[in-house]
């Protein structure tokens, strides 16, 4: 089965937040994306609420529960106590833990699983006890997958930023794809499923799907939102689903 498509609506929220106005609507465009066939919605709430606001979270939860019960809600973020309490309150299907500093503009690296085991292992246990599927943001590094498994997580999310940055360098892109594929193979061999996300677009998704056909999910925000400005959200979702192999 092709990788499922989760639409990250952070960029929509950031555009909305430029004005003290309710548009563009995060839930409204989330509804359009799900109606067009997206499999879920992703958010990354940050402490400063510079894009997703805490008030968006229950609205997205209600949208999925009331109108798209087969869709999934994925909340990603750094596992501070405030973040964990937010997750526990709003009950996403998946929690993706990222090692971001709150001041970062966007995610730009995966966890050092071995070095941060003492932080991750109890957090993962707490989330799994709460019934959540747990995914951990991971660099393309096959040798790190054993430590990732030891955290108790269910999945990794491959950080595809280095691959996305090779949009003008096919040879380098091929090397990044090979490393992503080896990391996914190592993860699956240890019982971890693999997601992927960051700087994925229609043009580079098919190559990723061929190189890493075992991906369970891709989470896409910036490129998809940029395309939606040009093509409209329904057409954009169809293009991304096709690029994923649906």
Between CA 187 and CA 142 the distance in angstroms is 8
Q: Is 198 known to be catalytic? A: yes
Q: CA gyration radius for the chain?
A: 17
Tokens of 193: 């499923």
List of residues 6+ apart from 246 with CB closer than 8 A: 2, 5, 37
List of residues 6+ apart from 174 with CB closer than 8 A: none
Q: Are strands 155-159 and 193-197 parallel, antiparallel or unpaired?
A: parallel
> Choosing from 39, 51, 90, 198, which is the catalytic residue?
198
Secondary structure of residue 192 in the 3-state scheme: coil
Q: Is 178 known to be catalytic? A: no
Between CA 107 and CA 122 the distance in angstroms is 22
List of residues 6+ apart from 20 with CB closer than 8 A: none
Q: Cis peptide leading into 24, omega within 30 of 0? A: yes
Q: Are 180 and 154 in contact (CB under 8 A)?
A: no
> Choosing from 39, 44, 51, 90, which is the catalytic residue?
44
> Choosing from 72, 76, 157, 217, which is the catalytic residue?
76
Number of H helices, E strands in the chain: 11, 8
Closest CA to 172 of 196, 45, 180: 180
| DSSP, res 212 | -
Active-site positions read 44, 76, 198
């Amino acid at each position: 089965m092709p990788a499922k498509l989760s639409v990250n609506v952070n960029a929509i929220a950031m555009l909305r937040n430029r004005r003290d106005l309710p548009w563009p609507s995060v839930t409204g465009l989330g509804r359009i994306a799900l109606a067009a066939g997206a499999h879920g919605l992703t958010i990354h709430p940050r402490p400063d609420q510079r894009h997703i606001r805490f008030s968006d979270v229950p609205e997205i939860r209600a949208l999925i529960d009331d109108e798209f019960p087969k869709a999934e809600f994925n909340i990603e973020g750094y596992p501070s106590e405030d973040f964990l309490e937010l997750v526990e309150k709003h009950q996403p299907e998946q929690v993706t833990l990222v090692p971001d500093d709150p001041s970062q503009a966007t995610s730009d690296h995966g966890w050092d699983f071995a070095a941060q085991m003492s932080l991750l292992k109890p957090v993962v246990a707490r989330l799994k006890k709460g019934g959540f599927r747990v995914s951990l943001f991971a660099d393309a590094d096959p040798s790190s997958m054993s430590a990732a498994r030891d955290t108790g997580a269910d999945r990794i999310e491959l950080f595809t930023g280095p691959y996305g940055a090779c949009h003008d360098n096919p040879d380098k892109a091929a090397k990044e794809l090979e490393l992503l594929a080896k990391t996914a193979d190592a993860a699956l061999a240890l019982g971890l499923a693999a997601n992927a996300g960051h700087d994925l677009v229609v043009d580079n998704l098919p190559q990723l799907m061929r190189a890493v056909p075992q991906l369970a999910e891709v989470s896409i925000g910036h490129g998809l939102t940029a395309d939606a400005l040009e093509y409209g959200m329904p057409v954009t979702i169809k293009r991304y689903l096709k690029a994923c192999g649906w």
